[in-house]
Chain A
């Protein structure tokens, strides 16, 4: 029998070597850690290090490049220190992270460990959906204004103009202008508005936003919200957060390592903002308004303070959330209570200056606005005119911090609702990894043992191929920085089964050939040849199923499909080419009488 092509042997060796190297990063231990960036400023770094060692009593401080790394053995310690850092006066940015002690030579070739999914690492997963009704409402409001203008301009006198059910209904006295009006509207606002005639009454026009315009607004809301959510998530201090658009109108937010989902939920979905208004009337008016339930002064509105005392405010808003450029938390120097330091935009500053100049001696109120409630958190007398920067008290520290985050990141373009949430405690994550690993090892051990006993030397070869297969899968996941989830591990398990199957097919064929009286080398040759078409048919059908899952599935199903696809391809390589190379090394040129199979 001619020798097995040399180049195939080389191919196997190269593939194995590369896979081995790129799978290495996964075997280095990882620690919970905190990163503090000091931007390559060594003096800065030393100062911070000194502070940390003294005040926080941590000795394990690494200086790498442009950041300091604090290593911890337990997540609890990591979190405790993180909170201490938040309350300290360290200005530099710091984040929670997982630190892998990977040697530099691996980093230089871009070899990193693969990501572990939430179900393995612990953390929080949210699926947010944009409020489509809100978007439609805003669209309708725009359409209302534009349409009215157009009707008036063209002197189409209408009888009534009403908004109901996300539609605008315009009725005319007669149908003289109806068709003309419809054409004019459709002409001028091409994809913005669609026009219809109500079937029974020909004097009525229905106007609604077109699907294209709704979709377009949803898309723009999602991308703006993504940016805003990203900056909110940054503030939560999570390392490696994932924010992605999903489908037409959803956003996935994944926060690995986060323990408390309540705060995250609060910040992510919040539409909280501030409003500034002047007060109206006297305290007596306020009291009377509370009794009667309605404002007793013209063009004012009734609000309540935190202690439930009433107040009347002007209907005009001086500045609000959009005018706030920056916000920070701190302490009010005079009263030593928590305060939010606000910086207004230029436009906001000029409006504020205007108002305060004209109203010295009057009172201004700060309103905390949220989805369904509005609370006055502060009322103060305007002592002197101010414009750009000032401070607000009236919230406790946590509220002040959260509010600053929200003011800094900006208001959501359209409200989002949490439609899916999964929280995995990190302990469950660790338990999952551990039991996943253990069960895999044990299962593999059983398989290996069986193959060894049943197929002897060939069984050993199959086991080696199996090990190589797993290494290849790990390295591919690492190179592409894919995320490994529990279902991904399940996919690897299935791949193992199929890899073994391929080998079993080959070996059973070889046995058959031997039983039919063929020489060892001839048996090997035809065994591999005949089994090949069976193996490829079988593997390709599974591949088809896996690809269907990959494209259509999401989340867990996708994770499973990813490892399955990688696994099938790599198992075909190791089971066919890989074992063949080993077999030919052992039996080639050796006219053995018997095969150890």
Chain B
């Protein structure tokens, strides 16, 4: 049998439990810091305004485009190259100079002298944007609560808490990374975040399942040892599953095109963080929550 991990591995993961907790705490504090200062780079789905993707027939200089907009009364356009020097994505706030009916002709007028095609045009009114934000937060909350109930039911209440801790940890850090690097947070990233919740739980439950099994099998005083054994036993599976999922996500990221880029990125970050949390945080939380002391 080909093996990535020695099946009798016996790494003492829980020796590093305090280090891990501190490390995670630092990451979370950094994340909150970034939330407070920079905030998230809300994509158009959650804020409001226009996103326009234009393809020109020649190489263009972004500064020239920006100046053309300034000449027409738009001072706050955000323009980026998109894939080549001939394609750009433009983010515009709502403006008195144009509205959703006239934006097409406004673009043509401001960019006279350029020959281009409108590849994509999106407009989201501010009310919709904030509504979506609300709905997104709701969805997360409901998902988390129902999961807590289910796990509390299948295992024990403290396991549920441990799982939620690992979960919140994953979400916060993933969001934190998005905030620190100002990566765009749009609807697809929200989907990815929710997928990460499911995936990370997947991992956590597999470990908890082992712990529960070993608790009854191994009459071991040292709860830490039970935890360690369980993690080691599931290590092989955890690594392989993460690996295979990463295969698919990496190809999405590299080959999948613009629309799924941020989704794939969010999921990849989430999986790394999630795997780390399943190995260290989920079990350490159980330890610190005092599960072993119940005996």
Contacts and interface: CB of A to CB of B under 8 A. Distances in A.
Given A515-B7, A549-B191, A439 B199 contact: no
20 contacts: A261-B121, A265-B101, A266-B101, A418-B100, A421-B121, A422-B120, A423-B120, A427-B119, A436-B257, A439-B251, A439-B255, A440-B252, A443-B252, A446-B251, A454-B240, A490-B263, A501-B244, A538-B202, A541-B202, A545-B201
A3 B28 CA distance: 53
B209 interface: yes
Nearest to A550: B139
A581 B289 CA distance: 43
Given A450-B243, A541-B151, A489 B139 contact: no
Nearest to A266: B101
B255 A438 contact: yes
Given A432-B259, A557-B190, 5 more contacts: A454-B2, A493-B249, A511-B7, A542-B199, A557-B191
A292 to B, nearest CB: 32
A23 B100 CA distance: 40
A421 B122 contact: yes
A127 B122 CA distance: 11
Contacts of A425: 117-120
B135 A428 contact: no
A295 B1 CA distance: 98
Contacts of A556: 45, 187-188, 191
Contacts of B237: 501, 504-505, 508
Nearest to B127: A419
Query: Binding site of B, secondary structure by majority: helix, strand, loop or mixed?
Result: helix
Contact of B143 (A129, A427, A440, A549): A549
A140 to B, nearest CB: 23
Given A438-B255, A537-B154, A428 B119 contact: yes
Contacts of A544: 143, 146-147, 150
B284 interface: no
A497 B206 CA distance: 15
B121 A552 contact: no
Interface residues of A, number: 76
Contacts of A487: 187-188, 191, 263
The residue in A265, A425, A491, A549 that gathers the most chain B C-beta atoms within 10 A of its C-beta is A549
Interface of B: 1-2, 4, 7, 45, 53, 100-101, 104-105, 117-125, 127-128, 132, 135-136, 138-139, 142-143, 146-147, 150-151, 154, 187-188, 190-192, 194-195, 197-199, 201-202, 205-206, 209, 233, 236-237, 240-241, 243-245, 247-252, 254-257, 259-260, 263, 267
Interface in A528-557: 533-534, 537-542, 544-546, 548-549, 552-557
Contacts of A491: 191, 195
Contact of A486 (B240, B249, B259): B259
Interface in A268-314: 269
A560 interface: yes
A335 to B, nearest CB: 30
Contacts of B119: 424-425, 427-428
Q: Pick from B117, B151, B250, B255 the residue with the most CB of A within 10 Å.
A: B255
Contacts of B254: 439
Given A420-B125, A423-B118, A549-B143, A435 B101 contact: no
A434 B257 CA distance: 9
Contacts of B124: 419-420
List 10 tightest A-B contacts by C-beta distance, closest first. A435-B257, A542-B198, A443-B248, A497-B245, A419-B125, A443-B251, A439-B255, A439-B256, A423-B121, A548-B143
Contacts of A534: 205-206, 209
Contacts of B118: 423, 425
Q: Which of B101, B135, B199, B202 has the most C-beta atoms of chain A within 10 angstroms of its own C-beta?
A: B202
A61 B37 CA distance: 64
A512 interface: yes
Contact of A545 (B143, B206, B267): B143
Interface string A450-491: 110110000000000000000000000000000000110111
A597 interface: yes
A564 B267 CA distance: 15
B209 A533 contact: yes
A547 to B, nearest CB: 8
A496 interface: yes
B141 to A, nearest CB: 9
B260 A269 contact: no
Interface string A494-510: 10111011001100100
A262 B188 contact: no
A287 B45 CA distance: 53
A428 B53 contact: yes
Nearest to B207: A534
Contacts of A533: 209
A546 B199 contact: no
A35 interface: no
Which residue among B136, B198, B201, B237 has the maximum number of chain A CB atoms within 10 Å of its CB?
B198
A105 interface: no
Nearest to A120: B259
A512 B7 contact: yes
Nearest to A263: B104
A436 B241 contact: no
Contact of B122 (A423, A434, A546): A423
A554 B135 contact: yes
A445 B269 CA distance: 22
Most buried by A among B122, B125, B245, B259: B259
A443 B247 contact: yes
Given A534-B206, A548-B146, A496 B128 contact: no
A348 to B, nearest CB: 30
Nearest to B257: A435
Nearest to A564: B195
A454 B244 CA distance: 12
B117 to A, nearest CB: 7
Contacts of B128: 127, 419-420
A140 B259 CA distance: 47
A420 B151 CA distance: 39
Given A419-B125, A450-B247, A515-B7, A540 B117 contact: no
Contacts of B190: 557
A490 B248 CA distance: 10
